[in-house]
Structure 1
Amino acid sequence: MEQMGSPYLLAHGLGQPVKDATTTFDASESETVFVWARTYNWTSPWSKKPGPGKFQIIINGATLPNILGNTGTAWEWQLAGSATLLKGTNHIALHDLTGFDGRCDAIALTRDKTPPAKRPEPKPGRPAGDFDIVVCGGGIAGICAALAAARLGSKVALVNDRPVLGGCNSSEIRVHLGGRIETGPYVNLGNLIKEFGPLRGGNAQPGDFYEDQKKLDIVANEPNITSFPNFRVVQANMKDRTIESIVAQHIESGTRFVFNAKIFIDCTGDATLGALAKADFRMGREAKHEFNEPEAPDKADDQTMGASVQWYSVQSDKPEPFPEFDYFDLINEKTCEKVTMGEWTWETGMFQDQIDDFERIRDYGMLVVYSNWSILKNRLPDNQAYANRKLGWVAYIAGKRESRRLLGDHILTQNDLVNRVPYDDPTAATTWTIDLHYPDPKNTANFPGCEFKSIAVHQAIHPYPVPYRCIYSRNTANLMMAGRNISVTHIALGTIRVMRTTGMLGEVAGIAANLCIKHNANPRDIYNDHLDELKAIMEIGTGKQNLPNNQTYNMGTCLKP
């Protein structure tokens, strides 16, 4: 949305053509027009060959002659051909030819052979309603923030740019929950996660492992939450350093809503709202001298942890063919990964911008999965282990670990965590190791500068309560944050980024936001004037009491309290 102004359709068929995407439109008269598709040859950064994402357009049953999506090096209008429209209703279809992620952003009709000059301006937003709090982002942190504030009495809008909730823990990305609940000074924080957290662990598992419907149901059943699925935040309207309203756009229809509220909580992961509000943030790694962190580099740089395109194959009772996918020369019989699935270690994009380059990062992740699988299926001399296997799932949304980190009144550091520095505003405890990812040296040897495998370096810590001052913006008065975009250094992000921890921090943000509504205050005022009240509510939490802890998988290594 940031790069193009709209999303696009993706023919994600794992090498098998997908069903036609169809719709209808009305024409005021019968006439002959030129038909254009805005598309992109997605393998062009790595190969000069005609790309694999081929498709055609069908109008009223007639297939237009030109193949689209396999040429060019950028998003562009490509001519599908000419068609005669009928007066009244016309039928149009995108016809996929390969199943290899052909993409179409828009279709345009012109009376001459000139592509459209620009896309239409979006219509002004209409009021979404009046809310106390708007939570942007529907991952685990956003769910917990919305539930906590709503259960305490606030009227909440939950704005999420996907059709499902859960973020990286949804069936779209398939990362299991990590970290511990029932620890630290406030053992009841995290009870919320017992109510909707999946009961089974595992990365890159079948979609039902992630229990999307349970997450949707708990939000739908909370009367103080109004959910806005498929809406992405695209604008923040400011007065001085306060957010007065935001605009969110539906990713399919383009409909825009305006949301007014007193408090906004950014749980987008990428700090999308914070960036639109020009809140202070950082990306990349701090220099060692800034905070004297032992693991920090000598010089600051833009390196981040990467994003994972996970995948798995399934066994069949017969040979399963796979098309030749030959768009990346560095993967061959010697360098390929002889595996039947790939989870978090299939990680890319550490040296690219995790915001502006994220489509390319995801595309590269898919490129190496398809290229590797093609070698195993078609070129490996002894491929009996793969002959009867087929791709069962490849993520079309990469699981991201790091991008923008919004800055609060305190920036959590490695020294805070390791030295157990006490502060007067402790909240939920982080328990995961300081878990930082780097390119896998073996992968670097074969793919220098374009690695797609990672290693993790761990430093165990004692449970450490994150200061409240890390979850509100230092320069945007009514902005809070929860998730991987809170106020931490790159090193400290290594522990707080796992989802049970981000969920508990979301719960704290929701509690504090409700106190802001109660006292007509901003988040900083809660620290200055109402900290004891915040602590009293954290003692109780907002989840159901006395539920058994069903979140005991993937808790990670933690030193004793």
Structure 2
Amino acid sequence: MRYPAKTLSVFAVLAITLFPVPHAAASQPVEGVLVEAESFDQHGGWKLDTQFINIMGSPYLLAHGLGQPVADAETTVSFPSTGTYRVLVRTKDWVAPWQAKGAPGRFQLAIDGKPLDETFGTKSAKWFWHDGGTVEITKPEVKLTLHDLTGFEGRCDAILFTKDLNYQPPNDLSPMDQWRKDMLGLPAQPEKTKKYDLVVVGGGYSGMGAAISAARMGCSVALIQDRPVLGGNGSSEVRVWAQGLVRRGKYPHIGEIIAEFADSAAASPGTYEEYGDKLKEDVVRAEKNIDLFLNTRAYEVNKEGESIQSVTAFNTRTSKRTEFLGSLFADCTGHGEIGYLAGADYYTHEKGHMGMSNMWTWKEADTEKSFPDVSWALNLNMEDFPYPKRFHGEWFWESGFDKDPIKDLESMRDWNFRAVYGAWNAIKNKGGKDKHANAELTWMAFIGGPRESRMLRGDVILRKKDIVNKIAFPDGCVPSTWSIDLHYPKKQYMQKYPEDPFISQAVFDSRVDRRFGYPVPYRCFYSRNIPNLFMAGRCISVTHEALGTVRVMKTGGMMGEVVGKAAAVCTEKDCSPREVYTDYYQDLEKLMARKGVERRDTIDGEFYISKDSKELPPVIDAYIDPTTLPGLVIDDESNNVQFVGTWTKGEGLKGFVGNHYVYHGKGKKAEIHFKFQVEKTGKYEVRLSYGHHENRATNTPVTIHSPQDSKTVKINQRIKPPLKNGFISLGTFKFEKGQQIEVVMSNEGVDGNVHADAIQVLPAD
């Protein structure tokens, strides 16, 4: 569906689109005190949730305790006068949209240590002001406490104390609406910044790439991020490991900036430490040309004609508003939020789009761990979901395929919560209880990892046919090396909840050049109707199918690098992003050919490499060309390989031979036969390549069959292969010329997945 540019004001569009219920009469300020939950002095164990501001109007605190009540949030509030106040708390019963019973998000509000009689989070499927009754305020300052009762996702947006005992505040609120500003006593006008060369909104890989690249090219940059950490889906909050190959193709230095901060996770979701939140922030703060604004949410765009003049944002802790002035803007929000607010042309794939994931981890503890009743969760048995053998729920815990990819985001996340808790209940209290008495949940992402929403339209809309047919655009510059990877509900697990499946499968189209990448055109990185707007990441100008290859984070980060360099050309030549292509593309090419560590202090300064610049690690290519290896190499896709059983192709573990590797789990019989002959009688060393991982078998049997002898070797595939290019020696053997020889790997008696990649045969004489 194509949406034309909007003609209404930004606020009017937002109000009409998301908040259609009028509340003019109720929107007048009232004598009293509004306390935003996010402004509490101490959040305790409550989490600050900012991802649904455009749906329900505000950041809020979330009691995300995995079934254990979280520590209290506390603050001190000053009152203008003593007396009787009505207390209203903006909250909801988060499972009520599905008419589920139990109200798991229950919490109390205490005033100077005394809880109100009302329990909150127990009413309404929508955000509303839950009446807490009246209280007597007898002194100028009181202590407020949010006390969680369950650990199951209670939520609080704000608390209102009013002396008008009949007052009803507005239920439907837009971000930083006038009622909220009046109640908080905010200044009529936001504070204005200096005018930046580039304002980047969104601090994921694409936003970081754009900001750092532009700063090193001499631009002044504001980087705005609504979370306390950088990295987006690739942060410790979401834990999607960064994929896509960098530093290749026509401009091999593109991707060097991303390589400086990319995560080191061996798998997704991985651990907190693997995502390097501090490293990401340190790399950004080291750039003198970047002003970083964390916990800052952009919610309004101000235009002059068709061009953006500024974006207005508020601090998600203090509500302080700031207007960021700029010459150029980059939408790196993932959702195309800035483009949408500016009236940019965009597209959403409304049905059958990719969904949102909330991954999770668990462990076996030393003592028995109980798990409470969760009758409000999805009613799951062990056969209703993939049993998480690897101590984590992976990317495929995904829902929302036919939901609105913007308006239904909170519903998607909450459905994922119900799915995970329902699965954990099956493991702890149903079919898995005897085996997992000591098991406990250790982490679950409360920040969702969405894959697809708005895609802003540029001068080129990249399509699947362009990629698979290798159409060469003259401005192709960012190598996309991920297969076209689209997610759909997995039929095996959608029988019980077919209207909203929660387990996905990946469907790959591997006709992507995975070695050098398909070069995505520069013209996909700027808006076709907002003349000073760039975009990078998953909101660029592509179709639904083409998004399947460009959406991974390192690829998005490289888009950001190109956008940053293009912004420098715009600044130097006083031109638009479109004119970079039509008039100054050679200038952009010169910048794309420069090393990632090269910099200049100002737009007209000299380039240099600072003394403290760190040398990049060598490129670890995902592919090893079998034709470049010595000896005889039989890859898993060779005609001389025979499979028994259904093996799965994999590409996630780097350093494999050929286009992929294969793996198979325990259970049903599986074998792979590598067949070969030698051209000369003699002694030969036989080697096996595999990718090590924690879920691989420690006892994979590999048998070498020849007419003279047979030998079986057991390989621990959790340990890194000791030889170059990921090989391990199976031994030295005497082979006769022309005789048929087989190397057979099987899953007989294994304790994990079996990984097969290639066989290498080398003369040993």
TM range (shorter): over 0.9
Identify if the C-alpha distance between structure 1 residues 329 and 180 changes in structure 2 by more than 3 Å, giving closer, same or farther: closer
The reply on whether 1:70 has 2:122 as its aligned counterpart is yes
Deviations 1:98-147 (A, max 9, x none): 00010011001122443542372434311122211100000001001000
Cα distance in 1 between the residues matched to 2:587 and 2:342: 29
Q: Kindly provide the amino acid, as one letter, of the partner of residue 395 in structure 1.
A: A
Structure 2 residue corresponding to 1:84, chosen from 126, 129, 136: 136
Deviates more, 1:430-439 or 1:76-85: 76-85
Q: Distance in 1 between matches of 2:166 and 2:445?
A: 36
Map 1:75-474 onto structure 2 (within 5 A).
75-118=127-170, 120-122=179-181, 123=186, 124-284=189-349, 302-328=351-377, 330-332=379-381, 334-339=383-388, 340-380=391-431, 382-460=432-510, 461-462=512-513, 463-474=517-528
Q: In structure 1, how many angstroms separate the alpha carbons of the residues matched to 2:653 and 2:470? A: 20
Counterpart in 2 of 1:291?
none
1:547 and 2:597 are equivalent in the alignment: no
1:42 aligns with 2:107: no
Distance 2:338 2:81 in 1: 44
Q: Are residues 341 and 235 of structure 1, via their aligned partners in 2, closer, same or farther at CA, if it must alter by over 3 Å? A: same
The residue number in structure 2 matching 1:535 is 589
More displaced, 31-40 or 13-22? Answer: 31-40
Secondary structure of the structure 2 residue equivalent to 1:384? coil
- SS of corresponding position for 1:132: strand
Q: How far apart are the structure 2 equivalents of 1:483 and 1:176?
A: 15
Instruction: Give, in angstroms, the shift of residue 180 of structure 1.
Output: 0.4
Match in the other structure for 2:109: 57
User: For the structure 1 residues 521 and 361, does the alpha-carbon distance in structure 2 shift closer, same or farther, using more than 3 Å as the test?
Assistant: same
- Specify the code of the residue in structure 1 equivalent to 2:399: T
Matched-pair contact (CA < 8 Å) for 2:385–2:493:
no
Judge conservation of contact 2:377–2:421 (CA < 8 Å) in 1: no
Q: Which residue of 521, 538, 544 corresponds with 1:490? A: 544
Q: Give the conservation status (yes or no) of the 8 Å contact 1:58–1:94.
A: yes
1:27·1:86 contact (CA, 8 Å) conserved in 2? no
- TM-score calculated relative to the size of structure 2: 0.69
Distance 1:138 1:81, change over 3 A: same
- Give structure 2 stretches of 5+ with no counterpart: 1-52, 174-178, 598-612, 623-651, 661-765
Name 1:507's counterpart in structure 2: 561
> What amino acid maps onto 2:488 in structure 1?
Y
Query: CA contact under 8 A between 1:306 and 1:350: conserved in structure 2?
Result: yes
SS of 2:314 mapped into structure 1: strand
Does residue 11 (structure 1) correspond to residue 63 (structure 2)? The answer is: yes
In the alignment, is residue 23 of structure 1 matched against residue 75 of structure 2? Answer: yes
Deviation of 1:334 after TM superposition, in Å, equals: 4.8
Equivalent-residue separation in structure 1 for 2:167 and 2:503 (angstroms):
41
Question: SS at the partner of 2:233?
Answer: helix
Letter of the structure 2 residue corresponding to residue 87 of structure 1:
K
Q: TM-score, normalised by structure 1?
A: 0.93
Q: What whole-Å deviation, never above 9, does each CA across 1:173-220 have from its counterpart, x for those lacking one?
A: 000010101211111100112211123332122211100000000111
Whole-angstrom CA distance in 2 between matches of 1:198 and 1:252: 27
Residues 516-535 of structure 1: per-residue CA shift (max 9 Å, x gap): 01111110010011101111
The 1-side partners of 2:223 and 2:441 are apart by 35
- Provide, for residues 440-497 of structure 1, a one-character-per-residue CA deviation record: whole Å limited to 9, x for no partner: 0101223211100001111121121111100000000000000000001111100000
Deviation at 1:330, TM superposition (A): 4.1
Between 1:504-513 and 1:67-76, the stretch displaced more is: 67-76
Q: Matched residue of 1:445: which SS?
A: coil
CA gap 1:108/1:40 in 2 versus in 1, 3 angstroms: same
Aligned alpha-carbon RMSD (Å):
1.8
Cα distance between partner residues in 1 of 2:154 and 2:254: 44
Query: What letter corresponds to residue 485 of structure 1 in structure 2?
Result: C
Contact persistence 1:267–1:485 (CA under 8 A): yes
Match for 2:518: what amino acid?
A: Y
Residue identity opposite 1:170 in structure 2: S
Task: Return the alpha-carbon distance in structure 1 between the equivalents of residues 166 and 427 of structure 2.
Answer: 45
Partner of 2:9: none
Q: Would the alpha carbon gap of residues 149 and 532 (structure 1) be closer, same or farther in structure 2, given more than 3 Å must change? A: same
**2:528 aligned partner, one-letter code:** R
How many Å separate the matches in 2 of 1:115 and 1:18?
Answer: 32
Percent of residue pairs bearing the same amino acid type: 41
Bigger Rg, structure 1 or 2: 2
Which AA in structure 2 matches 1:368?
Answer: A
**1:357-404 deviation per Cα after TM superposition (whole angstroms, max 9, x unaligned):** 000000000111111111221223x52332101110011011111100
What SS does structure 2 have at the residue aligned with 1:262? strand
Partner secondary structure for residue 500 of structure 2: coil
Distance 1:134 1:349 in 2: 31
**2:663 counterpart residue number:** none
The CA deviation string for residues 66-101 of structure 1, in whole angstroms up to 9 with x for no partner, is 111022221111122332223222101111000001
How far, CA to CA, are the matches of 2:466 and 2:542 in structure 1? Answer: 10
SS at match of 1:525: helix
Q: Is the 8 A contact 2:66 2:152 kept in 1?
A: yes
Q: CA 1:394–1:519 in 2, change beyond 3 Å: closer, same or farther? A: same
Structure of higher RCO (CA pairs closer than 8 Å, 6+ residues apart): 1
State the one-letter code of the partner of 2:472: P
Q: Structure 2 residue aligned with 1:522, among 576, 580, 591?
A: 576
SS of equivalent residue, structure 1 residue 409: coil
Aligned length: 543
**Conserved 8 A contact 2:66-2:151:** yes
Inter-partner Cα distance in structure 1 for 2:122 and 2:217? 53
